[in-house]
Amino acid sequence: MKLLRYGRAGQEKPGLLDAQGVLRDVSQLVADWCGAELAPEKLALLRDHQLEALPAVAAGERLGCPVARVGKIVCVGLNYADHAAETGAAAPAEPVLFMKAVTAIGGPADAVQIPPGAAKVDWEVELGIVIGSRATRVAEAQALEHVAGYVLANDVSERAWQMERGGTWDKGKSHDSFAPLGPWLVTADEVSDPHRIALWLEVNGRRMQNGNTSNFIFGVPKLISYISRFMTLEAGDVILTGTPAGVGLGQKPEPVFLKPGDVMRLGADGLGEQRLVCVAV
């Protein structure tokens, strides 16, 4: 299934796309796509429901982040060897982890802010993992049992704040609008192999990133198991799995960064597309 949330920011309702691509309101069945509603067994029950009988939603509604009340966003850095190389870093021996503030979350067509003083805002198309049930110190063999589904993500980053201001990466990753997610969450049963997903990103019509999750350094079970050793993962938490080569920082002969008016388009196999306009704030 493809789970969505639609409506004005802060007032979204739960929905899904039926087999014909019609957006249906599911608020009579679930309060929202969060917490226990994302458990694999709950999603399995919903699959058996007569979805075509649910109310259709009028065209043109804004889509928000497909997951409500995200508890935390755990990010993995340098998880593609080609991206590590373009940044001048060695491939890591263990996953590189950092956090992204949940206040950065936006929808798949919301504006991306270029904050005051920001001069090196960059793009990163990524596969996001949405956790469906609590995971604490899980083994790799059981890790996928805790996955509700997968989502398209853009790990927008201010590189100067990330790399030139001291401390950890988090402050370069967490400004409002720096975590567009969606358009939908594809449930795990419809993703046969999360390690065979092509993903891409364009800026102003120019293709900048072409990648595939087959080039992960650390795969999905490894990441879930590894992260769950250091923190409990709760239903609705999101893991961003890293980005392939082609970010602005790695462009030759000079880096290229986003400015107001730039338009990003990005997509991934089966996970839909985003269109994001950059605006000054």
Q: And the tokens for 162?
A: 């990330």
Neighbour order of strands in the sheet with 272-280 = 112-114, 272-280, 263-268, 198-203, 206-212
Average pLDDT for residues 154-170, to the nearest whole number?
Answer: 95
In percent, the amount of the chain with pLDDT more than 90 equals 90
pTM: predicted TM-score of the whole model, two decimal places = 0.97
3-state secondary structure of 178: coil
Do residues 156 and 279 make contact, with C-beta atoms less than 8 angstroms apart? no
Radius of gyration of the chain (CA): 18
Q: And the tokens for 106?
A: 């936006």
Is residue 150 very low, low, confident or very high in pLDDT (cuts 50, 70, 90)? very high
Do residues 211 and 200 make contact, with C-beta atoms less than 8 angstroms apart? yes
Is residue 237 very low, low, confident or very high in pLDDT (cuts 50, 70, 90)? very high
Give the distance, in angstroms, between the CA of residue 17 and the centroid of all CA atoms in the same chain.
19
CA dist 49 and 46 (Å) reads: 5
- Per-residue pLDDT at 75: 98
CA dist 189 and 45 (Å) reads: 13
Is residue 233 very low, low, confident or very high in pLDDT (cuts 50, 70, 90)? very high
CA dist 220 and 273 (Å) reads: 21
- Per-residue pLDDT at 47: 85
Is residue 214 very low, low, confident or very high in pLDDT (cuts 50, 70, 90)? very high
3-state secondary structure of 55: coil
If we measure between CA atoms, which residue out of 235, 108, 34 comes closest to residue 26?
A: 34
- Per-residue pLDDT at 85: 85
CA dist 161 and 173 (Å) reads: 8
- Per-residue pLDDT at 120: 98
If we measure between CA atoms, which residue out of 209, 219, 198, 259 comes closest to residue 95?
A: 219
Q: Which fold has domain 67-280?
A: Fumarylacetoacetate hydrolase; domain 2 (3.90.850)
Give the burial string for 138-169 (b: 16+ CB within 10 Å, else e). beeeebbebbbbbbbbbbbbbbebbeeeeeeb
